[in-house]
Amino acid sequence: MELLSNLAVGFSVALSPYTLMLAVIGCFAGTIVGALPGLGPSNGVAIMIPLAFTLGLDATASLVLLTSVYYGAMYGGRISSILLNIPGDEPALMTTLDGYPMAKQGRAGDALVISGVASFVGAFFATIGLMLLAPVLARVAYLFGPAEYFALYLLAFATLGGMASKNQAKAALASCLGLGIAMIGLDTTTGMPRFTFGNMHLMDGIDFLVAIVGLFAVAEVFFFIESHGKSSAIGVKLGKITIPLRDLKKSTVAMARSTVIGFVAGVLPGAGASLGSFLAYMSEKSMGRGGVPMGTGNPRGVAAPEAGNNAAAGGALVPMLTLGVPGSGTTAVLLALLMTLNITPGPTLFTDRPEVVWGLIASLLIANIVLLIMNVPLVKVFVKVLMVPPWVLLPGVMMVSFVGIYSLTGSYFDLLLMVGFGVLGYVLRKLDVPTVPVILGILLGNSMEEALRRAMVLSDGDWTYLFSSGIAIGLWTAAVAGFVAPIFLRKFLRKPVIAPADKIID
Amino acid sequence: MIKSDRILGLVTILVALAYIASAFQIQASFLTDPVGSKTFPILIGAVAALCGLVIFARPDPDPDWPEMSGWLRLALATAVMVGYAYSLKPFGFVLTTAFAAAALSWMIQPRIGTAVVTGIGLSAGLYALFKFVLGLGLKPWPAAFTG
């Protein structure tokens, strides 16, 4: 029972009072971040990273804190979906379809409880899935040489980009932009400066935390300034919270099915939580028989997408931990955290730093239980937070981002760079160029180049080496398919439009 | 009216070409490998240029750009942030933050009173949070105040 002994190691790390406290703080902050419209999980984690560093947390502690924020944000997204008809983050979009109608019928409390339980089911079983699948995948990953890794990185860009934008050319451009930025600084192999234009500040390259906080958090502030922060104000009153046992029982099957769908969607590189919740809802819709039609306040329509998106959140950690290739935008940000902590994700992580991996898994299980308590009986606390007006919230976010980056690097140049990335993020998102591939490019650029160069050293400059193994060819095929398929599937995968909501953010 | 995507495509092509040109300038090192320092950046530039061409040739419908007043507010917000970045070190945290937060708050909700209260509140609250809870070594005042 290797698994159980591993888990015991994990709990011995994660159950210390200090890490438990961090998990509670992380869950609380995460749920708030998720619930606030416009601040998604990637934003939340990105803002917290510099703070975790300035607190001087060690690797396990910062991982516990930030994954709690991550899971918390996934739980929190549903709150504003249900009460305001504004998704708190993108994966929570599908929850508005049945959640808001339920709230209008005076069943907001029921919807919150059902979705909270569904989130728990999805996240909890996905974490168990992660526990079982990750070590297996880690063993497979030992077979990967540089050629396979190069193809794998390409696959991540292809699928993430393919899903993220309506225009493949723009998605590819976003990846190139990120990769191009990653090249700035000293060449890791030869030590020669590239694209620094003699600027000393650029010698070390561009810190990806600066880029992440700029592209996500600062760009968000620009969007709010443009829209005058119109998307506040409580839509629906929340009555007394009771547990709707009958509805919960009726949606058990929906939750189980959606958990499986969501987990698989999460494990696929690039697909992530939005696809998980989308597929879960759609399959529930096609299978639904009897009862209230979906879209008019059906409890199963609340349970399915929430189980799906939380399961995908757990699933997305699998490729991130075992291969170093994130499955979603937020796991890309978590990868940035690992890299800053000098932890290289990949198969060796499981043998070299078992306490990190298993501590993380144990803390995810703990975080889930904490989140269930916070999000079902205590959900009213978070509803209060939704009333913080944007003209207080957004300047606050701004200042935390500035101080976080400043205390991390102590240089005004990085602050200017962050503002620059904010402007860039605003323009890109306006033009429907996705920003997540940019982040992925900055994160993976150097590893991708190194994989290419190592492959070429091994083959003495023979480019056909890139296609020389079965795994590599499979990955290349998947990459091409993942990039091209959304063009044809777009007709079927069209996201439903939510009628009265002002806008969709993040 | 020129579509925004045509401009995006054109800018992309130009930047990509400049990037490729600059990649050719990278100096070779005595440590060599079959690929070298230039190949990968040139590859990226080439793909980006191709994307630029496609975007230029097949532009999407235009997004809803803000009106003139919206642009003005965005430019002002950028200026405030840049000013904040430059003044954080010489002028300390408290005064600069109060000013910057108030300015941003005013741009989201143009009411002077709320903005001033927000600015002062955020500055004081965040300073307390950073200093006493998180233990960051922030300088609160300009050096001239404390001598």
Q: What 3 state SS string does A407-427 have?
A: HHHCCHHHHHHHHHHHHHHHH
Alpha carbon of residue A463 to chain centroid: 34
Complex confidence, ipTM: 0.90
Q: How far is A418 from chain B (nearest CA, A)?
A: 10
Q: Kindly state whether residues B74 and B46 are assigned to the same domain.
A: no
Q: Are residues B40 and B90 in the same domain?
A: no
* Residues A161-194 pLDDT 10s: 777 677 888 989 999 999 999 988 887 777 778 8
In a domain, residue A110? The reply is yes
Q: What is the pLDDT of residues A199-249, one digit of tens each?
A: 777 777 888 888 888 888 888 888 888 876 555 444 566 666 777 777 787
Residue B62, domain member (yes or no)? no
Of A187, A392, A453, the CB nearest to B118: A392
Task: Collect all residues with Cβ–Cβ distance below 8 Å to A245 and sequence separation of at least 6.
Answer: none
B20 lies in the same domain as B50: yes
Inside any domain, residue B31: yes
Is residue A219 in a domain? yes
Enumerate the β-bridge partners of residue A186. Answer: A193
Question: What does the pLDDT read at residue A506?
Answer: 35
Is residue B63, in this structure, part of any structural domain at all?
no
A 114-173: CB under 8 A from B: 166-167, 169-170, 172-173
Whether B140 maps to a domain, the answer reads yes
Same domain for B8 and B44: yes
Instruction: Provide the H-helix boundaries in A240-353.
Output: 245-250, 252-267, 272-287, 299-315, 317-323, 329-340, 347-352
B81 and B135, same structural domain?
Answer: yes
Q: What proportion of chain A, given as a percentage, has pLDDT over 70? A: 90
Residue type, position B5, single letter:
D
Query: Containing domain of residue B79, as a range?
Result: 68-146
Q: How far is A288 from chain B (nearest CA, A)?
A: 37
Are B106 and B49 members of one domain? no
Residue A376 lies in a domain: yes
Cα–Cα distance, A453 to A457 (Å, whole number): 6
Task: State whether B73 and B37 are in the same domain.
Answer: no
Same-domain pairing of B133 and B95: yes
Q: Round to whole Å and give the CA distance between A227 and B74.
A: 11
Residue appearing with tokens 């502030």:
A221
Structural domain contains residue B99:
yes
Q: Are residues B92 and B30 in the same domain?
A: no
Confidence of residue B50 (pLDDT cuts 50, 70, 90): very high
Kindly state whether residue A51 falls inside one of the protein's structural domains. yes
Whether residue A505 is predicted with pLDDT greater than 50 in this model: the reply is no
The pLDDT of residue B45 is above 90: yes
Instruction: Name the domain count of chain A.
Output: 1
Per-residue confidence at A504, pLDDT binned at 50, 70, 90?
very low
pLDDT digits (tens, 9 = 90+) for A329-388: 788 888 888 888 888 888 888 888 888 888 888 888 888 988 998 888 888 888 777 777
**Which B residues 10-69 touch A at CB under 8 Å?**
12, 16, 19, 22-23, 26-29, 31-37, 40-41, 44-45, 47-48, 51-52, 54-55, 58, 60, 63, 65-66
Q: Which domain holds residue A244?
A: 2-489
Kindly report the pTM of this predicted structure: 0.83
Q: Does residue A457 fall inside a structural domain?
A: yes
What's the Rg (C-alpha) of chain B?
24
With a pLDDT cut of 90, the percent of chain A lying above it is 7
Beta-carbon separation of B40 and A167 below 8 A: no
Structure tokens at B36: 């070298």
Q: Is B22 exposed, middle or buried (0-12, 13-18, 19+ CB in 10 A)?
A: middle
User: What is the per-residue pLDDT for B144?
Assistant: 60
Please give the tally of structural domains in chain B: 2
Checking if the pLDDT of B47 tops 90, the result is: yes
Indicate whether B74 and B51 sit together in one domain. no
CA distance A336 to chain B (A): 22
- What is the distance between the alpha carbons of residues B34 and A210, in angstroms, rounded to a whole number? 33
Pairwise CA distance, residues A118 & A221, whole Å: 32
pLDDT mean over B116-122? 90
Q: What is the mean pLDDT of chain B?
A: 84
CB A52 within 8 A of CB A62: yes
Which residues does residue A193 pair with via DSSP β-bridges, in sequence order?
A: A186
Residue B87 within any structural domain of the chain: yes
In a domain, A53, yes or no: yes
- For residue A328, what are its two tokens? 């979603």
In a shared domain, residues B32 and B91: no
Q: How many other CB atoms sit within 10 Å of the CB of residue B29?
A: 14
Q: Does A8 map to a domain?
A: yes
Q: How confident is the model at residue A503 (pLDDT cuts 50, 70, 90)?
A: very low
Task: Check whether residue B39 and residue B96 sit in a common domain.
Answer: no
Between A179 and A493, the higher pLDDT residue: A179
Q: Would A204 be classed as within a structural domain?
A: yes
